[in-house]
């Protein structure tokens, strides 16, 4: 049933496609007839019997080595329409019609088939025609082209003045035909007709040259054969159209040495005349049969022979000769011409591979692979892993023996390069494709052939496997094999080395020295060495597209992934220590890494920090030592127990208690330094910070049990997410083992997403799944084996996938069955309900289904939304196009490659520029952001309280003080973003979480929720809103949360508490505290002094009221709070926000008169409660009355808008620039 549905869907789409690409022949016929009539009329007006000499194209005649080329002009014997037009199989956008021009025999001598005299006269004949066509008012222009990239066989492309909008680019291609000009016997495959083609003085056969002339001689006959075969067989013509569409989408096969529309029609004719297909089949069936025949038929080994039109038959000797001289044989109906004489063995192998892939697409993919087969462009950049361009302009070595011998010099050079690379790369390369498209429409035959080296020679290499590609030693022949060893040394020269191997073998070898993180450049080394040694090329002549994107992953001159060995070693030691912990109620049963750095997909895995070690070695302290260190999450599970509490909040508190106990044990028993927070423990091991999280399996069931609970308070969802992350990490680790190139591609993808400020739209895990899909579902291609190729496929997946109407299924372990796919489809359809009524109802525009998440709830439940997805697709499409052009074209300067990761800042309504010297990891910044438009709205100076590097004075401190200065997982950009989103709901921030110095802001124009009046006022005055953003930004960046103390202080500020620092320190500060609602203290605002002890958070903070308050547990004179109120319940799991949202409110709401600091208030409360409450209100009115906000803008903020604009180039200041009109 599923197969039937797939077939029906594919058939419907194919029928629609055919309707779209078919031409309206009724309309086209009149246009063609008029154009042909004009051409014939113009040519008929050419006078006869005037002498034609080589002066019309002297360089062409000289370059092909022809002589005796003069002739008296005669008019053509006639004209015939041929090609796709004549068999009604033209397919848009092609609107070119072929017209045969029958060359008159009187212009040629009997032996003009020798030494390129025919080719020279053929060209000169066209020169005469072109000259007269250009004088006709019915002709717009005439340009030169070639027949299948064969420079010695130019053709004319005529563009009539009369046009129709429905046929853009309509043209007539004039192709000379040479029917009966020469004796066929003189052009047999074994004859030599170019006297300069010799070997040791002995003439060699010139089968390619001979076939070039025979092709022209039988053009008309072969056209008639095709017309007869395709006549009144609509399905065959439609199948030809489908095959053309398929081939055109594949640059590697729709090329001069492989396939073209004519050869496709010939193959179909062969199948039709040999009963391989019949009229009972529809176009799609014929298409499939043809692909299967190309991919699997054994007949190719013998050659294909069209049924002869006469009594003549091809003899066994002639068939053998064809097979010896040509890799592919398709003999025409005349039995004299191999129509596939240009096809190379490499081209044919490529064709068979593509046909095999298409059959897999039809079998395995949705809708029978319709999108992948007919709608997906497979060009060289996305096809090949390793692309190379050779700049050969002016290289005399290419044409040293002449431009045209049996084959043209460019084809001979292709073969030479192919042979060298095949021998040098060996089993590293699955296939090597060498193509030199050296003719184009700008070429003029009058300029000759010497100008045809302007285009680069292109080499595409498909890597067999990364393991083979990264091999550092190649073992050659044994020393005893003298002949092969000598040949090996001759090929490799100084790179050859005789070595003894561990198994005792003595053999020739080559060694390619490289660092671990540059192994992907080994093939680059090999290719450059071979081409320099054997072709005398320079480094400037060789452009290899391999490492051009590596700059985006560079950190301090190298790839930080090189330090992953140290990281894994530290993790293994930590894992062992955790399992060995004694003295806790439940032992650690399993440890699993969650962070992307531990699965090699982090863009910047952390470097070992000298301070984050068990013992600090003063000799390792650096002059510029980072003050920040990222925390890598590690999940642990404990032994099973039935004593866990049933309440989910209690479970979380119990886990926190376990974490504290684990931290204590690691620190006291193992000597491993730790810091504790409410939800986790940070462990310093081997220079890294690991953050411990506990997964409690019962938490997953609690998540399912909780229904209708506020998501913010739904703490048991932590377990659900931990479980999902652990599943994801395990699967990605397994994927990395199968595809070693996966991790670098994922890192490039993450870098690109962040560089274009999409960090808030796509989670890291979502990016990893997208890249995984590229590797797991590569059809219609093979699995990528290089960074650039994999990255380009990622971009095209983003740009081309139909996200709105299809889920993306990432079956990492190939576990999904039909029921799973049905479940995913049902979930997807449920998520798209209401799409037709209102697009804005779609919460997420991207549905990613994985084995652990069939409902796409983990990473893309709410983002990207439609707006984000539209922008993401546009950026991906633009980047993919740029990358493709960079691979194919000559531009190779680094600036153009950098454009892939430079994001335009003018696409936002406003931009916040951050202080570059205050970024936590400054070296991660790819490019400094620059603004050259917009108006500066606000600016401010950077906080002095934070520096990404420890000061020289810090390095002189004790080791314990150094550890206290280390900031774990501190990301000020995230803190700023959190505050912006909480305060300004109408703003949508776009940011780079990896290391960007700019935040883009756009106004949410599609927010359907009703806003409060003040929000509407903010939106109506965008300039004021931006100034408010700047003020909030300044307040939020005042803190410098080193370790736990500073982090808690930052959280307090982000919760909109007004904090005033004392003496610019971090341990003493004032906080404004509002009285609890619905209490007698409501409406009061108290200034609270807070002191954090050195042992915080293990010791509670000291809290005192500066503003007078009437309360039994607060000293009226000093403002001290009864210590028992906090000390009795305090633990490191609490933070400063808990003090002001829990402890102090409860202190005011539930006073304890039995343990007073204010005896008078306690006595009054117990004796006369109403009078007590009245006294409290009097104190509130007198001392705690709210004052107007006295916070004024600094002198920097009071500048006029013009002053802002004039000072906007000061890079030391934060700036918010907007493009909105004020």
Would you name the residues annotated as active-site residues? 1122
Q: How far is CA 1035 from the centre of its chain?
A: 38
Pairing of strands 506-511, 473-478: antiparallel
d(CA 145, CA 148): 9
Mention every residue, 6+ apart, whose C-beta is less than 8 A from residue 722: 594, 635, 693, 695, 699
Counting every residue written for the chain, the total comes to 1222
- Check residue 47 and report its DSSP letter: P
- Check residue 1187 and report its DSSP letter: P
- Could you write out the DSSP letters of every residue in 56-85? GSHHHHHHTT-----EE----SEEEEEGGG
d(CA 809, CA 853): 10
Phi, psi angle pair for 823, to nearest 5°? -60, -45
d(CA 76, CA 705): 89
121 close to 112: Cβ distance less than 8 angstroms: yes
**Opening angle at CA 137, ends 135 and 140, nearest 5:** 90
207-217 vs 219-230: helix axis angle to the nearest 10? Answer: 60
128 close to 203: Cβ distance less than 8 angstroms: no
67 close to 117: Cβ distance less than 8 angstroms: yes
Closest CA to 389 of 442, 429, 434: 434
- Tokens at 1040, concatenated: 């410098």
Contacts by residues 347-351 (CB-CB < 8 Å, ≥ 24 positions apart): 347/253, 347/255, 347/257, 347/258, 347/259, 348/258, 348/300, 349/431, 350/252, 350/253, 350/258, 350/431, 350/433, 351/253, 351/258, 351/259, 351/294
Closest CA to 985 of 1003, 963, 970: 1003
d(CA 1208, CA 1196): 12
Alpha helices in 901-971 (DSSP H): 952-955, 959-965
Alpha helices in 564-710 (DSSP H): 564-579, 648-669, 698-705
Phi, psi angle pair for 185, to nearest 5°? -60, -30
1082 close to 1076: Cβ distance less than 8 angstroms: yes
Question: First vs last Cα of the chain: how many Å apart?
Answer: 62
d(CA 527, CA 786): 15
Closest CA to 661 of 694, 685, 707: 694
How many Å is the maximal CA-CA distance in the chain?
135
d(CA 250, CA 357): 12
d(CA 262, CA 240): 10
For 1092, the 3-state DSSP assignment is coil
- Check residue 250 and report its DSSP letter: B
- Tokens at 248, concatenated: 């055109």
Closest CA to 940 of 921, 920, 970, 912: 912
d(CA 945, CA 440): 63
Closest CA to 895 of 882, 908, 906: 882
d(CA 995, CA 1001): 17
Pairing of strands 987-991, 998-1003: antiparallel
């Amino acid at each position: 049933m599923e197969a039937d549905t797939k077939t029906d869907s594919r058939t419907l789409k194919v029928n629609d496609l055919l309707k779209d690409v078919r031409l309206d022949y009724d309309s086209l016929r009149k246009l063609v007839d008029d154009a042909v009539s004009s051409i014939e009329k113009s040519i008929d007006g050419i006078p006869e019997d005037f002498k034609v000499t080589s002066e019309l194209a002297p360089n062409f005649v000289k370059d092909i080595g022809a002589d005796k080329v003069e002739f008296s002009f005669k008019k053509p014997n006639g004209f015939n329409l041929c090609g796709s037009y004549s068999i009604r199989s033209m397919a848009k956008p092609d609107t070119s019609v072929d017209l045969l021009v029958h060359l008159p025999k009187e212009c040629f001598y009997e032996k003009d088939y020798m030494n390129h005299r025919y080719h020279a006269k053929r060209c000169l004949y066209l020169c005469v025609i072109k000259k007269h066509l250009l004088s006709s008012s019915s002709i717009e222009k005439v340009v030169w082209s070639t027949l299948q990239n064969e420079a010695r066989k130019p053709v004319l492309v005529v563009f009539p003045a009369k046009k129709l909008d429905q046929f853009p680019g309509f043209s007539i291609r004039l192709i000379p035909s040479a029917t009966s000009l020469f004796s066929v016997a003189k052009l047999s495959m074994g004859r030599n007709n170019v006297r300069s083609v010799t070997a040791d003085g002995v003439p060699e056969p010139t089968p390619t040259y001979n076939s070039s002339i025979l092709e022209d001689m039988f053009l008309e006959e072969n056209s008639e054969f095709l017309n007869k075969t395709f006549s009144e067989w609509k399905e065959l013509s439609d199948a030809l159209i489908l095959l053309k569409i398929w081939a055109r989408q594949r640059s590697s096969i729709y090329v001069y040495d492989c396939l073209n529309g004519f050869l496709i029609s010939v193959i179909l004719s062969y199948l039709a005349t040999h009963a391989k297909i019949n009229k009972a089949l529809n176009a799609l069936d014929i298409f499939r049969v043809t692909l299967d025949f190309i991919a699997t038929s054994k007949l190719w080994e013998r050659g294909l022979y069209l049924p002869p039109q006469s009594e003549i038959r091809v003899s066994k000797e002639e068939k053998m000769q064809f097979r010896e001289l040509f890799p592919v044989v398709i003999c025409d109906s005349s039995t004299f011409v191999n129509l596939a004489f240009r096809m190379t063995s490499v081209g044919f192998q490529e064709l068979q591979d593509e046909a095999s892939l298409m059959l897999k697409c039809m079998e395995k993919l949705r809708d029978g692979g319709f999108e992948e087969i007919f709608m997906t462009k497979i060009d060289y950049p996305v096809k090949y892993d390793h692309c190379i361009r050779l700049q050969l302009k002016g290289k005399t070595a290419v044409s040293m023996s002449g431009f045209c011998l049996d084959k043209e010099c460019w084809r001979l050079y292709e073969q030479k390069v192919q042979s060298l690379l095949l021998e040098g790369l060996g089993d590293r390369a699955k296939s090597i494709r060498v193509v030199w498209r050296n003719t184009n429409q700008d070429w003029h035959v009058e300029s000759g052939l010497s100008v045809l080296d302007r285009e680069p020679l292109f080499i595409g290499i498909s890597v067999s496997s990364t393991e083979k590609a990264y091999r550092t030693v190649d073992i050659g022949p044994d020393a005893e094999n003298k002949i092969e060893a000598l040949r090996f040394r001759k090929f490799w020269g100084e790179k050859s080395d005789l070595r003894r191997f561990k198994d005792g073998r003595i053999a020739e070898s080559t060694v390619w020295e490289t660092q671990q993180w540059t192994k992907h450049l080994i093939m680059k080394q090999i290719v450059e060495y071979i081409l320099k040694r054997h072709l005398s090329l320079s480094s400037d002549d060789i452009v290899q597209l391999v490492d051009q994107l590596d700059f985006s992953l560079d950190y301090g001159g190298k790839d930080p992934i090189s330090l992953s060995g140290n990281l894994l070693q530290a993790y293994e030691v930590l894992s062992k220590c955790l399992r060995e912990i004694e003295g806790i109620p439940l032992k650690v049963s399993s440890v699993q890494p969650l962070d992307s750095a531990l699965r090699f997909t982090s863009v910047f895995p952390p470097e070992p920090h000298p301070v984050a070690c068990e013992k600090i070695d003063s000799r390792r302290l650096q002059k510029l030592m980072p003050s920040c260190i990222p925390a890598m999450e590690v999940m642990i599970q404990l032994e099973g127990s039935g004593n866990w509490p049933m309440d989910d909040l209690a479970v979380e508190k119990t886990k926190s208690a376990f974490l504290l106990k684990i931290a204590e044990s690691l620190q006291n028993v193992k000597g491993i330094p730790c810091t504790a927070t409410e939800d986790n423990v940070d462990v310093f091991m081997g220079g890294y910070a690991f953050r411990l999280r506990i997964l409690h399996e019962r938490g997953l069931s609690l998540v399912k049990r909780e229904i209708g609970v506020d998501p913010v308070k739904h703490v048991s969802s932590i377990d659900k997410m931990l479980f999902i992350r652990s599943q994801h990490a395990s699967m990605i680790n397994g994927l990395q083992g199968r595809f070693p190139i996966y991790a670098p591609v994922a890192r490039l993808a993450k870098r690109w997403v962040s560089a274009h400020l999409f960090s808030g739209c796509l989670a890291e895990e979502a990016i990893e799944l997208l890249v995984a899909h590229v590797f797991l579902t590569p059809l219609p291609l093979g699995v990528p084996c290089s960074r650039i190729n994999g990255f380009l496929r990622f971009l095209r997946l983003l740009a081309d996938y139909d996200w709105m109407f299809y889920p993306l299924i990432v079956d990492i372990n190939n576990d999904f069955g039909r029921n799973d796919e049905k479940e995913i489809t049902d979930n997807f359809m449920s998520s798209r309900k209401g799409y037709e009524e209102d697009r804005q109802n779609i919460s997420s525009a991207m549905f990613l289904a994985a084995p652990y998440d069939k409902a796409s709830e983990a990473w893309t439940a709410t983002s990207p939304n439609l707006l984000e997805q539209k922008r993401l697709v546009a950026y991906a499409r633009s980047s993919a196009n740029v990358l493709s052009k960079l691979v194919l074209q000559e531009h190779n300067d680094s600036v153009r490659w950098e454009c892939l990761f430079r994001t335009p800042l003018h696409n936002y309504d406003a931009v916040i520029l951050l202080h570059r010297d205050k970024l936590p990891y400054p070296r991660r910044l790819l490019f400094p952001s620059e603004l050259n438009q917009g108006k500066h709205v606000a600016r401010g100076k950077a906080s002095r309280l934070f520096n990404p590097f420890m000061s020289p004075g810090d390095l002189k401190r004790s080791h314990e003080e150094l550890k206290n200065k280390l900031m774990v997982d501190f990301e000020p950009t995230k803190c700023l973003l959190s505050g912006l989103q909480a305060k300004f709901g109408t703003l949508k921030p776009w940011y780079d979480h990896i290391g960007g110095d700019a935040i883009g802001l756009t106004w949410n124009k599609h927010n359907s929720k009703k806003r409060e009046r003040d929000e509407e006022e903010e939106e109506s005055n965008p300039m004021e809103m931006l100034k408010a953003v700047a003020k909030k930004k300044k307040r939020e960046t005042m803190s410098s949360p080193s370790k736990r103390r500073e982090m808690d202080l930052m959280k307090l500020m982000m919760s909109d508490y007004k904090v005033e620092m004392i003496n610019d320190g971090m341990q003493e500060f004032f906080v404004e505290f509002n009285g609890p609602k619905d209490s007698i203290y409501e409406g009061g605002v108290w200034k609270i002094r807070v002191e954090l002890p050195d042992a915080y958070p293990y010791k509670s903070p000291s809290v005192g009221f500066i503003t007078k308050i009437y309360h039994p547990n607060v000293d009226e004179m000093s403002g001290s709070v009864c210590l028992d109120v906090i000390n009795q319940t305090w633990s490191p799991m609490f933070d400063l926000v808990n003090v002001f949202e829990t402890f102090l409110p409860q202190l005011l709401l539930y006073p304890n008169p039995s343990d007073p600091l204010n005896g008078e208030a306690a006595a009054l409360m117990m004796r006369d409660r109403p009078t007590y409450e009245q006294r409290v209100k009097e104190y509130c009115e007198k001392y705690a009355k709210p004052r107007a906000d006295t916070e004024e803008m600094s002198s920097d903020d009071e500048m006029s808008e013009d002053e802002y604009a004039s000072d906007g180039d000061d890079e030391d200041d934060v700036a918010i620039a907007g493009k909105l009109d004020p």
